Structure 1
Amino acid sequence: MNPVRLIARDELRLMARNRVAMVACVLLVLLTVAAIASSWAHQRGIEDLRTRHQHAAEQAFDAQPDRHPHRMVHYGTFIFRPLSALAAFDPGVDAFTGNSMFLEGHRQNTANFGDVNQSSLLVRFGQLTPAFVLQAVAPLLLIFLGYGAVARETERGTLRVLMMQGATRGQIVRGKLRALAIVALLVAVPAMLGLLALAGRPGASILPMATIGLGYGAWLLTWVTVIVLVSALAGRSRDALLALVAIWAMSVVLLPRVAPDVAGAAVPLQNRFQTEVAIARDLRRLGDAHNPDDPHFAAFKRSVLQRYGVSRVEDLPVNYKGLLAVEGERITSALFDRYSGESYAAQGRQNAIVAGLGAISPAIALRSLSMAAAGTDFAAHRGFLEQAEAYRFALVQRLNTLQADGVSYADDTADDADADRRKRVSGQNWEAMPDFAYRAPDGATLAARALPGLGVVLGWLAVAGVLLAFATRRLGERR
């Protein structure tokens, strides 16, 4: 029989005799199944809740009675971000960024009601998901199963016996690799089956799923290679275990927690209060639509009168107050977009710093890959915010245009007893307003966003393989 196969079989047999190892494997499989079930149920509950609230918000907006259009501008509406098809596998930043927004005129609100801010401490600590099990727990299990794969043979003196019986250094190492890789495959199977179960969901695409599968496969193979490498370099099993646990703690626990703090210190962000103060200051500089002597809006008034060929706003064929609202919203929205762009740029630089640290910790690259392919990363959240702002602006401008065309300037400025009734427009206009429809990125886009992280993980796998090849050449030499 092939020596590699014999060595792998004997290694697996040794693992099977270890009751602690077998219990750990069974517990990990059960943990993965529990993670799939709980994450699926959690995401389904969130999805149903958001759908109900979205329908309620749309119905409440459409059911408003006859009103002045500008009152509807301030009445506003709520929108909710639909969940990604793969959010049950890796919820990413969704629990922290918020999932709903209140849209109104003259303001650009942020997303609110993140799950972390409304849930128990368990959710704040970290939701149990298949991605978390594969990222953090599975490597630790592989360490405790494989730390002595080669070091044990060195300690007991059986390494030279194997070599005297005709097994080469490469065959010994490949046999150990094969045995541990089989265990890694068995560990990953439940999570991958859970991922495949999501294939039938609307919006699920094969490209992101394949990218996730490839990424986690490379991640576990990297750990298999590193475990055998450290076991081959260490003289004793105890030393190999200590070194591997230290590597796991540093790369999986410490660096991913420290990286955001490093990025935040390197590229500070303005908080919401500072941004609102800056926006209010800039708005005063741009112009005040309620001040007839304001230079910008005085020039705007002259341009409107000139365009329609009249000398007074009372003679315009449209309501000047509506035109003024359209211009005011255009100015404020442009200012909102500028500040949002600056914030997005700063957050992009922070993410670039964190991604750069992925060269030190492949766990960071794996998380980036996983969230990007699942559509739950910052880029996906930014896409929602940008679509929400575009919808808000279009909705407010439709209402402002309705004021310009549907309410006369004489009625809009009147203050007699019947003026309020004349300023109203039919409530059927609210039903004609389009509802918010989120456009999720397609599968090719999600897969492309995950490629940098995949490249880093594959690079680490290649480096570990090269180092193991060099260590194999020196295997069995006296130290």
Structure 2
Amino acid sequence: MTAASAIARKDWREFVRDRRLLVMAALMVLLSLAAVMTAYARVAAYEADRVATERRDRVTWESQGERNPHSVAHFATWALRPLTPLAVLEPGVTPYAGAAIWMEAHNQNGARARAIDDAAIAFDLGTFSVAWVLQTIVPLLIFVIAAGLVARERERGTLALLLIGGADARGLLPRKLGGLARIALLLAAPVLAAGIAAALLAGAVDPLRLALWTLAYILFFGIVATAAVAVSALARTVSGAMLILIGLWCVAVLLAPRAGVAIAQATAPTPAPDAFWSALRTDLAKAPDPFEDKAFEAAVLQRYGVGKVEDLPVSFAGLQLDESEKHGAVVFDRHFGRLAAIHAEQRAAMRWASLLSPVPALENVSTALAGTDGPHQLAFQNQAEAHRRAMIGALNRDMVEHGAGEDFDYKAGSALWRATDEFRFHMPNVGATLRTIWLDLAILGAWALATALLLRLASHRLARSIV
């Protein structure tokens, strides 16, 4: 056994005998159980309510009897966002983003029913979850444990004796890192194991997403542990190392993510809801109205080769409704597209906070792989809008084809309602998800390289100290 290996084993034995480690491990078990139980209950209750609501909504939709298709288009139906099993691990934006969209004629509605609105207490540091524990508590514990790994040896004088006795100075810190990795695994394993088990119980988990999610956190812990060992080696005292590491934790975990939000809002401010909807309604009012547009009427008469509306072989009101939907779609695409572009700019601006910490990049990767980030929420809203347009278009076409001479007096049977497809959200595939976070993965890789270089620098400095 080399001297470096011996001291790594000694570190492990000391930590095992240290009651503080046992207290930390017990704390992590309790936190993991609390986070998992809270998240599992939240996701399970939400999914049960969603499925039950969709069933009731469908029964109501199919039981309308004979009605005019346009009346049914205004009666409308709901699109409800499903939660993936990985939402047990990482809630992401789901508590703050709407979960239900009312799909009605003439309107592209925003998502409603934000879980945060029903929360009794707002948790300013983030949603309590497995991801929160892994991003916030585990790094703090690693820093506390690692502060004395090398600095304590220096204070005791055992470090100089070890190096003079022939220990490889350049191999010492990697050995220290290996010992710290064992301890970090002891702390993080309960959280990861409990979270993964709960996700598997919550539903069919995409194994690739789960594997990538887990690997991202392992990489993050590697970055944290490597930085901690390097700081402990560079600091002269345990208290100095502790002070630096706690300061780094405050900057990396508490300040950097909030700095990213501030940068995003300053770079691309989100329009106020009242201003957004007011501008949208103003543009809708400017759009041509097929019910008042004589040019549209003349074009329809020419298309069908008749001289007056009463001679049309189709429902003129149905054509007007369909044309109105097309005009509205142009306005909706312009305004909602502009809003999506602002959110994309904010997401890009927030990455500047990654200069201070790997946590913002990790958050992006974590939420994306869990299917709970902004792009997945946007995918839900876009799919709901596409379904709304297809549904309203089908109802308008039925009125056009079968309502000649009757228009709004025409009534379709329940067979039409049953033939209308139900809304089903299709999760973006892993490839599409990775394309949205490739830069965040590169940032994590850059942080891993930077901390490895810092550890190497600390090793060289340690080797020079005995020359």
What TM-score, normalized by structure 2, do the two folds share? 0.95
Matches within 5 A, 1:255-294: 255-291=256-292
Matches within 5 A, 1:82-101: 82-101=82-101
- C-alpha displacement of 1:191: 3.2
1:304 counterpart = 2:305: no
Q: Deviations over 1:366-419 (max 9, x none)?
A: 00010111111111000000000000111111111122223233x337xxxxxx
Q: Deviations over 1:90-121 (max 9, x none)?
A: 11101110111111111111111111111221
SS of residue in 2 equivalent to 1:254: helix
> Is the contact between residue 90 and residue 371 of structure 1 (CA under 8 Å) also seen in structure 2?
yes
> Is the contact between residue 3 and residue 167 of structure 2 (CA under 8 Å) also seen in structure 1?
yes
Q: In 1, distance between residues paired with 2:435 and 2:211?
A: 12
Q: Deviations over 1:147-203 (max 9, x none)?
A: 011111111211111112221212321221111111112222223324543357655
Task: Identify if the C-alpha distance between structure 1 residues 45 and 124 changes in structure 2 by more than 3 Å, giving closer, same or farther.
Answer: farther
Q: In 2, distance between residues paired with 1:4 and 1:455?
A: 33
Q: In 2, distance between residues paired with 1:335 and 1:232?
A: 61
Which segment drifts farther, 123-132 or 171-180?
123-132
- Give the aligned partner of residue 79 of structure 1: 79
- C-alpha displacement of 1:427: 2.8
Matches within 5 A, 1:70-469: 70-121=70-121, 126-194=126-194, 196-197=196-197, 198-199=199-200, 202-291=203-292, 297-409=293-405, 411-412=406-407, 422-469=409-456
Q: Deviations over 1:119-164 (max 9, x none)?
A: 2215676432111111110011111111011111111211111112
Q: In 1, distance between residues paired with 2:51 and 2:421?
A: 17
> Is the contact between residue 70 and residue 396 of structure 2 (CA under 8 Å) also seen in structure 1?
yes
1:477 counterpart = 2:447: no
Q: Deviations over 1:2-32 (max 9, x none)?
A: 3332111111112123212321122113311
Q: In 2, distance between residues paired with 1:97 and 1:433?
A: 27
- C-alpha displacement of 1:280: 2.3
Which segment drifts farther, 321-330 or 182-191?
182-191
Q: In 2, distance between residues paired with 1:11 and 1:442?
A: 44
SS of residue in 1 equivalent to 2:86: coil
- Number of aligned pairs? 464
SS of residue in 1 equivalent to 2:102: strand
**Could you say what the CA RMSD is over the residues aligned between the two structures, in angstroms?**
1.8
* Structure 1 counterpart of 2:363, one-letter code: R
> Is the contact between residue 73 and residue 105 of structure 1 (CA under 8 Å) also seen in structure 2?
yes
Q: Structure 1: which 4+ aligned runs deviate by more than 6 Å?
A: none
Q: In 1, distance between residues paired with 2:42 and 2:287?
A: 47
> Is the contact between residue 207 and residue 447 of structure 1 (CA under 8 Å) also seen in structure 2?
no
In structure 2, stretches of 5+ residues that fail to align are none
* Structure 1 counterpart of 2:233, one-letter code: A
In structure 1, stretches of 5+ residues that fail to align are 292-296, 414-421
Q: In 1, distance between residues paired with 2:263 and 2:356?
A: 14
Task: Identify if the C-alpha distance between structure 1 residues 451 and 184 changes in structure 2 by more than 3 Å, giving closer, same or farther.
Answer: farther
Residue identity over aligned pairs, in percent, reads 33
Q: In 2, distance between residues paired with 1:83 and 1:428?
A: 31
